């Protein structure tokens, strides 16, 4: 296990963390972002990727997933190292800053910006009889390239289920998509493509269907009151994502319920640790992307000054700089 140092360590790659990373890196600091999930974007990617968002400044009516794409684009060319599948678990004071431990590597930084939102948005565990008997049960959006040529059963109606079905079909997997309701969630374009794939025979859809149990060879379902066995090399159970603050819940941050109190500049009770976004108490009921952006801009500039006192807190105008 290695230790990696950066000027600033951001925890969480939702809109607050991504914008904080931008600002700190744009001020010339090295930034590392730790994200528990396999993809960045926080709630926008996990909970509502296909919904249109109307109140993000400058991007009216974009789908949430597109907002994330734009936030990432703003990091192009900046010194930001993004670590996905990495849960921050311990925080300790060290000389010159803070050390954050994960299940693997350890990260040190002069300042930490906490942008953990509602907590880790990790997949729900499968609650299906026989889940331990099947050799390849997964609960998160897969890397489609690794599943070409395999028989994949996808269970669930969340937007990721429809998207996974189409991506896996395109990658050459033999896909069966099943859900306990008749309707799947997703963008109109995704749902149109899904219907076209179904009528064109590219994949099979079984809905309404009840997943009864998994077997070593696949699954047993009830479809239209009749039992049906499906052979599957991989079973993908997409049941949504659960917020969990427990990995950072014991950090001495003077917690107020699910909030961390934030003073001027996003300061917390710990010197050199800042909080932004949905986790910051000052936002209160205003759990909004635009509020997260403003908090991130303020905290990142204070954190930059904390790490490099020769940098002024105020960033100046980006329009005046190259």
Q: Could you list the residues that contact ligand FAD (CB under 6 A)?
A: 11-17, 34-37, 42-44, 47-48, 53, 55, 87-88, 115-121, 247-248, 277-278, 287-290, 292
The nearer residue to ligand FAD, 117 or 156, going by C-beta atoms, is 117
Q: Are 29 and 307 in contact (CB under 8 A)?
A: yes
Q: Which residue has the tokens 């997703």?
A: 186
Distances in whole angstroms, Cα of residue 167 to Cα of each of 164, 170, 230: 5, 5, 20
CB of 270 to ligand FAD, least distance (A): 15
Q: What angle do CA 54, 59, 63 make, to 5 degrees?
A: 60
**Distance of alpha carbon 245 from alpha carbon 259, whole angstroms:** 10
- Nearest approach in angstroms of CB 86 to ligand FAD is 6
Q: Tell me the closest approach of the beta carbon of residue 166 to ligand FAD, in angstroms.
A: 22
Strands (E), 204-316: 204-207, 209-215, 218-223, 226-231, 234-237, 241-244, 273-275
Tell me if 58 sits within 8 A of 66, measured CB to CB.
Answer: no
Closest to ligand FAD by CB, 117 vs 218, is 117
| Beta strand 62-63 pairing with 3-11 | unpaired
Cα separation, 276 vs 69, in Å, equals 20
Render the burial of 205-234: b for 16+ CB within 10 Å, e for the rest.
bbeebebbebbeebbbbeeeeeeeebebbb
CB of 224 to ligand FAD, least distance (A): 32
**What is the nearest approach in angstroms of ligand FAD to the Cβ of residue 197?**
26
- Which C-beta is closer to ligand FAD: that of 112 or that of 307? 112
| Shortest spacing between CB 7 and ligand FAD, in angstroms | 19
DSSP three-state, residue 24: helix
When the beta carbons of 68 and 168 are compared against ligand FAD, the nearer one is 68
Work out whether the CA dihedral 53, 54, 57, 62 comes out positive or negative.
positive
Q: Whole-number minimum distance, CB 296 to ligand FAD, in Å?
A: 8
> Would you say 82 or 128 has its CB closer to ligand FAD?
82
With 0-12 / 13-18 / 19 or more C-beta atoms within 10 angstroms meaning exposed / middle / buried, residue 150 is middle
Residue with Cβ nearer ligand FAD (56 or 177): 56
Q: Which is nearer to ligand FAD, 72 or 311 (CB)?
A: 72
């Amino acid at each position: 296990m290695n230790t990696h140092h950066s000027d600033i360590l951001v925890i969480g790659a939702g809109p607050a963390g991504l914008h904080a990373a931008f600002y700190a890196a744009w001020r010339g600091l090295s930034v590392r972002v730790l994200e528990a999930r396999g993809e960045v974007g926080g709630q926008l990617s996990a909970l509502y990727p296909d919904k249109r968002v109307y109140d993000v400044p400058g991007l009216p009516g974009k789908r949430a997933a597109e907002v994330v794409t734009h936030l990432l684009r703003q990091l192009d060319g900046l010194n930001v190292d993004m670590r996905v599948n990495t849960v921050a678990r311990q925080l300790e004071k060290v000389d010159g800053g803070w050390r954050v431990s994960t299940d693997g590597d350890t990260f040190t930084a002069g300042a930490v910006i906490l942008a953990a939102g509602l907590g880790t948005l990790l997949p729900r565990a499968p609650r299906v009889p026989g889940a331990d008997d099947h050799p390849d049960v997964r609960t998160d959006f897969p890397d489609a390239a690794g599943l070409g040529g395999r028989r994949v059963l996808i269970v669930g109606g969340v937007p990721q289920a429809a998207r996974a079905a189409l991506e896996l079909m395109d990658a050459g997997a033999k896909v069966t998509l099943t859900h306990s309701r008749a309707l799947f969630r997703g963008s109109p374009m995704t749902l149109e493509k899904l219907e076209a794939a179904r009528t064109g025979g590219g994949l099979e859809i079984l809905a309404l269907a009840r997943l009864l149990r998994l077997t070593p060879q696949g699954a047993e379902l009830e479809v239209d009151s009749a039992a049906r066995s499906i052979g599957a090399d991989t079973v993908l159970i997409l049941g949504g994502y659960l917020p969990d603050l427990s990995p950072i819940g014991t950090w001495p941050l003077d917690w107020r319920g699910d909030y961390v109190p934030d003073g001027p500049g996003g300061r917390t009770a710990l010197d050199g640790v800042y909080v932004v976004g949905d986790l910051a108490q000052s936002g209160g009921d205003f759990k909004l992307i635009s509020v997260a952006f403003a908090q991130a801009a303020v905290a990142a500039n204070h954190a930059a000054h904390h790490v490099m006192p020769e940098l002024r807190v105020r960033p100046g105008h980006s329009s005046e700089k190259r």
